[in-house]
Structure 1
Amino acid sequence: MKVFAPLVLTVLRYVLLVAILGFAGYYLVSQWTGVAAALAEISWPSIVLSFLLVLAGLGAGTMSWVSVLNGLGPRIPIARAAQVMLVGQLGKYVPGSVWSYVMQMELGRQYGILRPRVLVAGLYAAGIGVVASLILGSMALPVVLRGHTQLLWLFLLLPVGLFCLHPRIMTALASLVLRAFRRPPLEHKVTIRVVGKAVGWALLSYAMYGLHLWILVNSLVDPDFGTLVLLTGAMSLGFTVGLFAFVFPSGVGVREAILVGAMTLLLTVPQASAMSLVSRLMFTAADLVAAGLAVLFVIVLRKRILAESDRNNASHAYEPDTDVSLVARD
């Protein structure tokens, strides 16, 4: 039975990956009719720049995740860690966003990164993302007070999140999760530098996303700097709302409600709805492109990554791989 376990896990990984790509592709096709008309009103330079900003935001968000992962244990090469994060996070397109964590844990397992460590990194990165989004989301309070007062409770999470970001609290909670998986606690404490880097990258990520939306709106009207601040806050808050709407694929629908509410200060409701669809389409396309680029980088830099891995292994930087019995127990 133990002999077939690795084969079964490999098959399941590929089946899940095919399902993820299928859901993401279906979403792109199903939304194209509503997006095509809106794209015709946007200049191509604005489309290209806006899309590049989404990719930049994804890159910053990935660095936030990598910072947390490397803060919880031995350093993993950035290209390899980025592949785990970007390919794994495509699982959010399958209804029930738990699949992104499953994919990340399985991909990490292939590189000798223990599943609990990847899970803890994902949960903490999500928590850091919530804190960062609520910090910037406070700039969208006019929109919340105008038509989404039911979301005010989200801001109660900010002091709780800030408390949990204390290095000692992070270390204790991470060790608690590892103990639940029958793994030893962290060998060293999470440092304030790790927390600061992760929060900084997350804030930069949301700032890029806000600028992306501002560029789209700028193609129809002439928004000022105040609008940039408002749209950045709305985009950030939308991500947090989408995170809690985990029963929908990648928070579909709930983020758009926040964005439309913010954009109707400048655009008509049909225009705002169209821009939100364009934005969502760009995020889906960027997710697929970023995951593909991460895989490509790992292939191109394979020798360099393996050399770095050998150096890390020699200095005990990598966690030892587990045998089949431990895989089953994980």
Structure 2
Amino acid sequence: MDDGPITPTNPAGTVIPEDPLSPNDTTAESGDRVAPPATSGRKPWRARAVQAVRILAAIGIAYFIVATTVQQWSDVSATFRNLSWPSLGASLAAAVACLWATMMAWRAMVGSLDHPLRIRDAAPVQLIGALGKYLPGTVWAYVVQMELGRRVGVSRAKVFIGSAVVTGLGVTVGLVLTAPGFGVAFDGARAAEHRTFAAGAVWCTVILLPFGLVCCYPPLLTWLVGRAMRVLRRPALDRPITWRPVLVSSAWCAVGYLAAGAHVWLLVRSHLPGPHGLIGGVFAMALAMSISTFVIVAPSGLGAREFLMAIALVGLGVPWPAAWALTLVSRLLFTVADVAAAGVSAAVGLRRIRHSAPPPVAR
């Protein structure tokens, strides 16, 4: 298995991550060195412009979250006080279950591209790597997963392809689950703050759904992956992607949305009791997670996911201040779940390394 080129560092010694889509990788899967193509490099003004856009977007998102919370603070604080610790604990457990299902979807797809992974090997790669989503941009989670995947015997390119495909399948499954509630979403957009942005976000779900369904067709998906492998300067797939990994990964994504819906319902059941609230929770989380994936400048869709979830909850009958407060609680619990799941996976991985290490040589 290719170890790849030496990781570059800057003068301060900090590792500079490679762009997973860069065609300048000089190592083929077989280990043979190939000549990199001539490139002109990114122009300094373009790099500065991209950085400026990211900074402005981060400032705008932060301002939106703070301003909305302050504006509704009396109702928001009342909603916080009405939440019980048992509900928060159960909601946190449901968030962990959602992350676990996402890891299983990733494991099923990557296993079909390279070789099957044991759960104890797949969990650290996906769960620890997922922490990279809290950094602005699209590549950080993939970079970490690619490096961790290489350590368990999966090539960087196939880790990246598997992660990207599962992200696409997850978005498509979310759009499918959102489709029956398009009318509710538009009602929420009309009743929510910032109606123009809300309506635009809901229209995105309507427009993207058919494209997502078409791209899940295995022959077309195989062709798209083959094109991506060419961009990565990697050999073509050993075998085409079949219906089995697509359906298995999609099923695990659906399980993840069900768990995420239960997570939301445990927070909003005072407003949406019974099965109606559970179905509404799945709808709210499917809308929020699927569309916020495209807001690449926001760490883990921060701000966008909360706004979209609030739109869905408002459409279901939850007042806007309460809906906004509950989305903030949901974000906090999911962040705790991400860190906890990654920490447990890292601890288990470290324990395995220690137990598998050879005994010290006696002097």
Shorter-chain TM-score category?
Answer: 0.7 to 0.9
Mapped partners of 2:272, 2:132: distance in 1? 37
After TM superposition, give the deviation of residue 44 of structure 1 in Å: 1.4
Task: Supply the AA of the counterpart residue of 1:12.
Answer: V
8 Å contact 1:214–1:228 — kept in the other structure? Answer: yes
Q: 1:48 to 1:280 in 2, by over 3 A?
A: same
After TM superposition, give the deviation of residue 8 of structure 1 in Å: 4.3
Partner of 2:218: 167
Q: 1:41 aligns with which of 82, 95, 120?
A: 82
Structure with the greater alpha carbon radius of gyration: 2
Q: Which shows bigger deviation, 140-149 or 49-58?
A: 140-149
After TM superposition, give the deviation of residue 6 of structure 1 in Å: 5.0
Give matches, 1:145-184, under 5 Å: 145-146=186-187, 147=189, 148-150=198-200, 151-184=202-235
- TM-score between both structures, scaled by the size of structure 2: 0.72
Q: Which shows bigger deviation, 273-282 or 69-78?
A: 69-78
Give matches, 1:269-288, under 5 Å: 269-288=320-339
Find out whether 1:62 has 2:130 as its counterpart. no
After TM superposition, give the deviation of residue 106 of structure 1 in Å: 2.1
Q: Percent sequence identity over matched residues?
A: 34
Task: Supply the AA of the counterpart residue of 2:291.
Answer: V
Mapped partners of 1:12, 1:70: distance in 2? 29
Mapped partners of 1:305, 1:128: distance in 2? 36
Find out whether 1:5 has 2:11 as its counterpart. no
Give matches, 1:105-254, under 5 Å: 105-146=146-187, 147=189, 148-150=198-200, 151-218=202-269, 220-221=270-271, 223-254=273-304
- TM-score between both structures, scaled by the size of structure 1: 0.79
Aligned to 2:111, the other structure's residue is in SS state: helix
Mapped partners of 1:91, 1:36: distance in 2? 31
Mapped partners of 1:175, 1:305: distance in 2? 37
8 Å contact 1:89–1:100 — kept in the other structure? Answer: yes
Aligned to 2:15, the other structure's residue is in SS state: helix
Q: 1:186 to 1:202 in 2, by over 3 A?
A: same
Task: Supply the AA of the counterpart residue of 2:267.
Answer: L
Structure 1 unaligned runs (5+)?
15-22, 307-330
Structure 2 unaligned runs (5+)?
18-57, 190-197, 358-363
Q: Which shows bigger deviation, 90-99 or 58-67?
A: 90-99
Q: Deviations over 1:265-321 (max 9, x none)?
A: 443322221111000001111111111111122234458999xxxxxxxxxxxxxxx
8 Å contact 2:280–2:313 — kept in the other structure? Answer: no
8 Å contact 2:260–2:281 — kept in the other structure? Answer: no
Task: Supply the AA of the counterpart residue of 2:332.
Answer: L
Mapped partners of 2:283, 2:179: distance in 1? 6
Q: 1:295 aligns with which of 339, 343, 346?
A: 346
Give the root-mean-square deviation of aligned CA atoms.
Answer: 3.0
Q: Deviations over 1:130-169 (max 9, x none)?
A: 1110011123313322213322232232222222222222
Name the one with the larger helix percent. 1
Query: Which protein, 1 or 2, shows the higher relative CO under an 8 Å CA cutoff with sep ≥ 6?
Result: 1
